[in-house]
Chains A and B, each alone.
Chain A
Amino acid sequence: MSPEPTKTYQATVFQAKVFVTLKPSILDPQGRTVERALSHLGQQASGVRVGKLIELQLEGERGEVETRLQDMAVNVLSNPVMEDVRWELEEAPVQAVAGA
């Protein structure tokens, strides 16, 4: 009796980082406050802007994951009226294996 043919596929897990920042034209009162506080501490810095980093894991084939990530980043995770958004996508060290 021949062995059952085994169907396996590997879904890659990706680690995504989405960076959301206020557009340069938008005043960032939070950044300004941090900048002033730094200055009071004797640390000189200019152009301080406060943004957000959103990390997420996505599973699938790279092209499809990129499409989904772009959709999320542009339509949900950021507001195009005030914010700029960019992202990084890396294969996560751990791989999920589904099979049999």
Chain B
Amino acid sequence: MNVAVIQFPGSNCDGDALHAARLTLDPDAQFVWHTDDGLPAGTDLVFLPGGFSYGDHLRSGAIAARSPIMNAVKAHAERGGYVLGVCNGFQVLTESGLLPGALSRNTDLHFLCRPVHLRVETTDTAFTGAYTAGQIIEIPIAHGEGNYYADAETVARLEGNGQVIFRYVDNPNGSLNDIAGIVSERGNVLGMMPHPERAVEALLGSEDGRGLFESLKGVLGKGVLVK
């Protein structure tokens, strides 16, 4: 499995993302710079890391979503390739139209940096196969704008299709329906505010994020692309 971690100016979880990817999925996972116009040949998973791309100017993720590499990421997603956007990566995915909705300011205006509990809503996705349905996992959050919003029709569609795959047990930021992570309709693009890449080693507090990477490994091992 080949993993590409995209680096934008202001990404700050890129090192963690690369470390987690190398530990769990691909010892040769590599960085790709935002001005590149193509992904390395054979890329299976694009990892959009957290951070404050372009200083969060204009809107979180707005400028990164319009950078040259994103055309290649969109083409990759259209081909059925996997994309994982964490935190700022999730914001980049909504800004680029790869996922619906938007992330707005946390209702209490605070930057929240702490472990939270998530419920795994479905195991029927490439990202959650290694968990059990309804499993509660502990994953850290670190964001000021993680309040998921979409119009009622979009939220109903997400819920109807089972696209909400992670939900906060105790909603920290005001997200509609306690949404912490959603997948695209085809299931190959995941955006989530919590940081699974920061929870892959017990030594660092939790390895509950490991299941996400193990899930991908399982799916790609079978050579299955998207649903």
A33 close to B (CB within 8 Å): yes
Q: Which of A7-15, A59-67, A73-81, A85-93 contacts B (4 or more CB under 8 A)?
A: A73-81
Bound Cα distance from A22 to B149, whole angstroms: 12
Nearest to B174 among chain A residues (CB) is: A27
Q: Is A82 an interface residue (CB 8 A)?
A: yes
* CB of B59 closer than 8 Å to a CB of A: yes
**B121 on the A face (CB < 8 A):** no
User: Is chain B's interface secondary structure helix, strand, loop, or mixed overall?
Assistant: loop
Q: Is the CB of A81 within 8 A of B102?
A: yes
A81 CA / B102 CA spacing, docked (Å): 6
Secondary structure at the A interface, as helix, strand, loop or mixed, is: mixed
How many residues on B have C-beta within 8 angstroms of the other chain's C-beta atoms?
19
CA distance A43 to B101 in the complex (A): 36
Q: Report the contact-size class of chain A (Cβ under 8 Å from the partner).
A: 10 to 19
A29 in contact with B101 given A79-B59, A79-B95 (CB within 8 Å): no
State whether A81 touches B58 (Cβ < 8 A).
no
B157 close to A (CB within 8 Å): no
Q: Check: B62 CB closer than 8 A to any chain A CB.
A: yes
Binary interface profile of B, 38-65, with partner A (CB < 8 Å = 1, else 0)?
0000000000000000000011001000
Q: How far is the CB of B143 from chain A (nearest CB, A)?
A: 14
Scoring A26, A77, A82 by chain B CB atoms within 10 A of each residue's CB, the highest score goes to A82
List residues of A whose CB falls within 8 A of some B CB: 22, 26-27, 29-30, 33, 76-77, 79, 81-82
* Nearest 10 interchain pairs by C-beta: A81-B102, A82-B102, A29-B109, A29-B107, A29-B105, A79-B102, A79-B59, A82-B104, A33-B109, A82-B149
